[in-house]
Amino acid sequence: MNIKRNVSLSPLSTFKIGGRAEMFCLVRTPENLIRAAEWAKANKIPYRVFAGGSNTVFPDGTLNGLLIRIRGGKISVSRNTICADAGVLLKDAVRISLAHGLQGLETLSGIPGTIGGAAYGNAGAYGHSISEVIRRVEVWDGRTRRWISRKECAFGYRESILKHTPWLALRVELGLKKGDRKELFAVSRKTIRVRNKKYKPGIKCPGSFFKNVLVADTPKAALKKIDPRKIIAGKIPTGYLLEEVGAKGMRSGGIAIPAFHGNLFENTGGATARDVKQLAATLKKRVYKKFGITIEEEVRYF
């Protein structure tokens, strides 16, 4: 375990924001992830874990304690089952599923991050989420390694039990179906084309900033203010809400919302976590004032 000190945070996320980590280590296997966490606990040092850094807002100052990054690991295929260590890139899992003609991950093509991070936040796009194909997740609960079922994961929209416990995701097992390789590759390519129009390659952002709003959780009074034509699969696109309150073109320091997407925070240069939080707070107030809806961040603040 190679622990580094005073490490710059900004290169570690797609947002390119952040100060410095007091201590940092990179691990590539579930065993070393547990070892790093146990070392921190034994030395009474607080620790945080992240993976791809694609949904992350690091602080401007010093992040105290040990920051652990899990990146890499093993992936295997057996019939219709893929098992991947938490640090395996989601795009690699998608690629392998397509190569084996396995259906279930193709609509997640182009989503950055790792398989563990995808399970943590129940990543999804275009009406599908990774929870649809997860069979079970291996976790470390602070004492033991064990598998939890999909039901025990308590998946919801961009939610899982992993967000609300100190458990660490170690491995993810996916159950897929046999499909037509040619058709699966076509869906994947189309998905990536659509995604690249919204998230241009190399853009410094964490993806969609706020979660979409579930109609089932929205007060009736608020729903009356929503154009029903905008509702998609039981969700109100937050981009629509933000555009209705004038989000496009707004700025806060180095953070700007581009003209082509109201739910995108872009680091245009020199942005800080403070800029992010100030703009997020302003937009949340505007949306609540106009619609009576409280929108929630999809990003993870450290």
Catalytic residue among 54, 129, 131, 208, which?
208
- Please indicate whether residue 188 is annotated as part of the active site: no
How many percent of the chain have pLDDT more than 90?
Answer: 95
Catalytic residue among 69, 252, 298, 300, which?
298
Burial 162-194 (b: 16+ CB within 10 A, else e): beeeebbbbbbbbbbeebeeeebeebbeebbee
Domain ranges within the chain, ordered by starting residue: 4-70, 75-196, 200-301
- In this prediction, residue 165 carries a pLDDT of 96
pTM of the model: 0.92
Residue 48 pLDDT exceeds 90: yes
How far apart CA 115 and CA 84 sit, in angstroms, is 7
Catalytic residue among 69, 158, 171, 286, which?
158
Do 200-301 and 75-196 fall under one CATH topology? no
- Please indicate whether residue 252 is annotated as part of the active site: no
- In this prediction, residue 44 carries a pLDDT of 97
- In this prediction, residue 158 carries a pLDDT of 94
Residue 1 pLDDT exceeds 80: no
How far apart CA 203 and CA 189 sit, in angstroms, is 20
- In this prediction, residue 127 carries a pLDDT of 84
Within 28-94, strands assigned E span: 47-50, 56-57, 62-70, 75-78, 81-85
Yes or no: domain 75-196 corresponds to CATH 3.30.465.10: yes
33-47 pLDDT, tens per residue? Answer: 999 999 999 999 999
- Please indicate whether residue 158 is annotated as part of the active site: yes
185-207 pLDDT, tens per residue? Answer: 999 999 999 988 888 888 999 98
The fold adopted by the segment(s) 4-70 is 3.30.43
Q: Which CATH number fits domain 200-301: 3.40.50.920, 3.90.78.10, 3.30.720.120, 3.30.56.10?
A: 3.90.78.10
